[in-house]
């Protein structure tokens, strides 16, 4: 397995290996200080980023390498160079390429042409690094994932899609509550359901947020308007998503030990109230910190050939 483009690219064993490595890096961050010695890792970001950019840069440094940031204006793509030519050229200089962009199809073209590992740092359809971080956080909080259920409440975006796939890979039940107009990508949910069939997990979709949250071990939400969503839809989206705001009353329907998760950035008063995200059940900043060991783990696993892909499970 050369690349990580979607969470579903992983097998259950792969997901377990990434989480094992991430646990190790969380406990001992500097255990592989020469893996990327004298090597560059390219970060090609066409979208703004705080957690993904800084955690990935820090991960490369901790592995002994140097990150080089390449924005949309730094490359020749804007002057007509093809995605394939850019990927081939960069492959001659760097050990890996981390890409944050809009189009999943363009990312797939980039990965096919590249001869070094390519990691999806967020596209319109997927956010695999975030989903692996989410499962790592839950495992840290509860000690293991056995018998846990996640409730995702809000807009059915790339975070929801990847979270469903990661939960299924790890044998964790998940219920996604979204308005019908903002449901997650049906094809991606079918993939999650297929994975869940092999691991014994369940993936359910509903329009009822309280039904989703009832008895859940974790309640998760995300922003109502993601990067790339049309601004003119803001008022419509807010009206449709208002019943999905996570407040104390909703969180109280979850299990007594339930925690709150959010991939950030958050908008207090929209998708979540300040009382919840800043309250004692919130684990969002631990979740954010875990982006660093997960980035280390993914780079290590890909560069060392530790991942073998979904075919082992299918």
Q: What is the mean pLDDT of residues 92-119?
A: 98
Residues 297 and 271 in one domain: no
Same domain assignment for residues 273 and 148: yes
Q: How confident is the model at residue 229 (pLDDT cuts 50, 70, 90)?
A: low
Mean pLDDT confidence for 257-271: 97
Give per-residue pLDDT as tens, 130-150. 999 999 999 999 999 999 999
180: DSSP letter: G
- Does 97 map to a domain? yes
Residue 183 resides in a domain: yes
136 and 244 together in one domain? yes
What confidence score (pLDDT) does residue 225 get? Answer: 84
Tell me which DSSP letter residue 202 carries. Answer: -
Q: Contact at 8 Å (CB) between 95 and 114?
A: no
Q: Is residue 236 part of a domain?
A: yes
**Which range (37-51, 72-86, 141-155, 289-303) has the least confidence?**
72-86
Same domain membership, residue 202 and residue 53 = no
Residue at 2 is within a domain = no
Q: Are residues 149 and 296 in the same domain?
A: no
Q: Residue 78: its pLDDT value, please?
A: 77
Provide the mean pLDDT of the chain. Answer: 95
Are 59 and 159 found together in one domain? no
Interval 95-109 mean pLDDT: 97
Is 221 in the same domain as 306? Answer: no
What is residue 126's predicted lDDT score, i.e. its pLDDT? 98
Measured between alpha carbons, how far is residue 91 from residues 9, 38, 73, 97, 134 in Å?
21, 15, 19, 8, 30
Q: Within 13 Å and on the Cβ side, how many CA atoms surround 227?
A: 18
As a whole number of angstroms, the distance between CA 135 and CA 121 comes to 17
In a domain, 1, yes or no: no
186 inside domain:
yes
Q: Look at the block and give the residue holding tokens 């049906």.
A: 186
Q: Do 146 and 225 lie in a common domain?
A: yes
Instruction: Assess whether 21 and 70 both reside in one domain.
Output: yes
Distance between CA atoms of 231 and 84, rounded to whole angstroms? 32
List, as one string, the DSSP characters of 11-79.
-HHHHHHHHHHHHHHHH-TTS-TTTTTT-EEEEEESS--SHHHHHHHHHHHHTT-EEEEEETTTSGGGG
CATH number of the domain residue 114 falls in: 3.40.50.1370
Percent of the chain scoring above 90 in pLDDT: 91
Q: 118-120 and 96-100 as β-strands: parallel, antiparallel, unpaired?
A: parallel
Instruction: Give the pair of three-digit tokens for residue 253.
Output: 């329907």
Q: Answer yes or no: is pLDDT of 259 > 80.
A: yes
Q: What is the pLDDT of residue 27?
A: 98
- Residue 107 and residue 253 in one domain: no
**Residues known to be catalytic:** 100, 127, 130, 222, 263, 291
Number of domains in the chain: 2
Range of 270's domain? 130-288
Q: What is the mean pLDDT of residues 6-27?
A: 98
What are the angstrom distances between the C-alpha of 183 and each of 161, 195, 264?
Answer: 10, 19, 20
Q: Are residues 140 and 280 in the same domain?
A: yes
Q: Per-residue pLDDT averaged across 86-111, rounded?
A: 97
Q: Are residues 16 and 161 in the same domain?
A: no
Any idea which residue has 């042409």 for tokens?
Answer: 113
State the sign of the Cα–Cα–Cα–Cα dihedral 195, 264, 294, 45.
Answer: positive
Does 307 fall in a domain? yes
């Amino acid at each position: 397995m050369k690349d990580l483009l979607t969470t579903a690219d992983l097998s259950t064993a792969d997901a377990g290996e990434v989480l094992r490595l991430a646990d190790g890096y969380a406990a001992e961050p500097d255990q592989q200080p020469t893996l990327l010695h004298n090597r560059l890792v390219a970060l090609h970001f066409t979208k703004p980023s705080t957690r993904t950019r800084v955690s990935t840069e820090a991960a490369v440094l901790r592995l002994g390498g140097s990150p080089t940031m390449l924005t949309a204006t730094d490359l020749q793509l804007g002057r007509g160079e093809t995605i394939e030519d850019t990927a081939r050229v960069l492959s001659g200089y760097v050990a890996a390429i981390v890409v944050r962009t809009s189009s999943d199809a363009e990312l797939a073209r980039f990965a096919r042409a590249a001869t070094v590992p390519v990691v999806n740092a967020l596209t319109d359809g997927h956010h695999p690094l975030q989903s692996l971080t989410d499962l790592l956080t839950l495992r840290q909080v509860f000690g293991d994932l056995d018998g846990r259920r996640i409730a995702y409440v809000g807009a059915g975006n790339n975070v929801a899609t990847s979270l469903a796939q990661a939960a299924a890979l790890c044998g964790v039940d998940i219920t996604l509550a979204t308005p019908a107009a903002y449901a997650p990508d049906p094809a991606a949910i079918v993939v999650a359901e297929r994975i869940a069939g092999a691991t014994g997990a369940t993936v359910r979709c509903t329009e009822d947020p309280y039904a989703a949250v009832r008895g859940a071990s974790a309640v998760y939400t995300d922003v109502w308007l993601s990067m790339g969503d049309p601004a003119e839809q803001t008022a419509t989206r807010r009206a449709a998503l208002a019943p999905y705001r996570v407040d104390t009353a909703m969180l109280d329907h979850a299990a007594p030990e339930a925690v709150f998760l959010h991939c950030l950035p958050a908008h207090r008063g929209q998708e979540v109230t300040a009382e919840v995200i800043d309250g004692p059940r919130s684990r969002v900043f631990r979740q954010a910190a875990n982006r660093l060991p997960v980035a280390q783990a993914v780079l290590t696993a890909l560069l060392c050939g530790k991942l073998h892909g979904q075919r082992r499970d299918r």
